[in-house]
Amino acid sequence: MRKIRWLHISDLHLNRRGVETVRLRKKLPDYLRSLGIQCDYVFCTGDLRYAPDGGFPEDTAARLMELCRAVAVPAERLFVVPGNHDIQTDAAGRNEAVGRLHDVRSEKEGHGYYDPMTGMVEADDLAAISRGKSAFADLMKELYDSVPGRAAYYANAEHPHFVVQTEELNILHVDSAIAYTGANEREKDMIIGTEAFQQCLEDLNPAKQTVLLTHYSFDFLGRDEQKEVEALLKDYGIRLWLAGHEHNHLIRMRRDYFYEAQCGNLQLEKGAKACILLGELDLDTGSGLMKVHAWFPGEGWAPYPFVRTGTEDDTRYPFALIPAGSG
């Protein structure tokens, strides 16, 4: 039996202030250590900062690594994708590039040139879009200073998505914020660029399970984009999608095929849930489970009792992947 464990964090918004927010963040590393869990991976699905409040705090990398050390994970086993708040939407030419490609279904705005069935984004537009990730790419240089080659992935304008193979897994990094402009009317019609996505999938090792990391859930993709992405997930046997953005936990099966787990945020916010997810997977059988740990104001961190309802043990969400290499 080869079992791996991971910590899933998202929407840290580390530049946000507030007494209870500071408390829950400061107490999280000690809580994780108190669980006595050693993880093999830490997955962070974006929004390291809160864009309206400014840039990334100077200690962002240090705070990420503090969480990693709490579960005995080194920097090379930390995997990060950008969220919409990690993007500089006012970068030169970025919004204009998004406007050219975005398939906005509105008579007022017209249609962009992007078609999910061909999936092509012009190189000049990809370059302009990538300029919005320059500060995030600089942060990744600091974070991965001891991990040769990792930071370069985030600065590659031609390839917004990439795969890192580890001994056990394919870690598929998907930038789902490439078409984000800050305009709320577009946030339910996102694209990832299906051609770039398909090209990235060619780097997967079919003998290994794949974990897809991205900021937005599947629901935020446009309808036509969903169809193409779903087909590609099936073509390449991808059955585990980890996301964030909605500031609440949600674990479910999608399209009768893949499991999607959304992690909550790490700030106190009305109507949201400050929480983290812990998961494990048996690589030989494909069976696994996920648990949620949440912050309860006035009490502290504790297991969340209702990951699902109506079962013998509502504190855990079991799932079953087809073993890698079995078709």
Q: Is 291 left (phi over 0), alpha (psi -120 to 50) or beta?
A: beta
pLDDT band of residue 239 (cuts 50, 70, 90) is very high
* Confidence at residue 102, expressed as pLDDT on a 0 to 100 scale: 72
Pairing mode, if any, of strands 169-173 and 209-213?
A: parallel
pLDDT of residue 325: 74
**Superfamily assignment of 3-320 in CATH?**
Metallo-dependent phosphatases (3.60.21.10)
Degrees to nearest 5, angle at CA 94 with 91 and 98: 155
User: Helix and strand tally (H, E) in the chain?
Assistant: 8, 13
Give yes or no for residue 2 having a pLDDT over 70.
yes
The residue among 249 and 188 whose pLDDT is bigger is 249
Please say if the pLDDT value at position 286 is more than 90.
yes
Domain residue extents for the chain: 3-320
Q: In angstroms, rounded to a whole number, what is the distance separating the alpha carbons of residues 286 and 61?
A: 33
Enter the tokens of residue 295: 């912050």
Backbone angles phi, psi at 129, to 5 degrees: -65, -40
Q: Is the dihedral of CA 42, 308, 260, 320 positive or negative?
A: positive
Higher pLDDT, 109 or 305: 305
CB 105 within 8 A of CB 189: yes
Helix (H) or strand (E) holding 61: helix 60-70
The amino acid at residue 121 is V
Res 104: pLDDT: 46
Q: Each residue of 241-253: pLDDT tens digit?
A: 999 999 999 999 9
pLDDT (0 to 100) of residue 327: 60
- pLDDT, averaged across the chain: 93
Q: pLDDT band for position 185 (50/70/90)?
A: low
Closest among 276, 317, 299 to 37, alpha carbons compared: 276
